[in-house]
Amino acid sequence: MVARNDITGDSIQTKSASQSYRDNYDNIFRKNNMQVKVQEKIGTCGCGRSPTGDCIGWHGLSEEAYQKNLAEYQAKQQTQGE
């Protein structure tokens, strides 16, 4: 016995692709227009805490620890710059 759709009465089976499907296949499955998000610089940190822009692990620090490390970093940079 063939299974039938209760609403349409059509038999439940795979039908051939319609003209509408064929016309829009490329619009749906095309890969050449897909945009890929690429990280421009590997190692870049997005948390905004790193003074160098590269991740140095400061995103997990408390605010107090962050301020302390930042002051130490700035003092070290000032000493090296002189």
Do residues 46 and 37 lie in contact, with contact meaning Cβ atoms separated by under 8 Å?
no
Give this prediction's pTM.
0.45
**Residue 81 — very low, low, confident or very high, per pLDDT cuts 50/70/90?**
confident
User: Count of residues for the chain?
Assistant: 82
Do residues 57 and 65 lie in contact, with contact meaning Cβ atoms separated by under 8 Å?
no
The predicted-structure confidence for 29-66, as pLDDT tens digits, reads as follows 776 655 555 545 555 777 788 888 888 888 888 899 99
pLDDT score of 35: 55
Give the whole-angstrom CA distance, residue 5 versus residue 65.
66
Q: What is the percentage of the chain residues whose pLDDT exceeds 90? A: 12
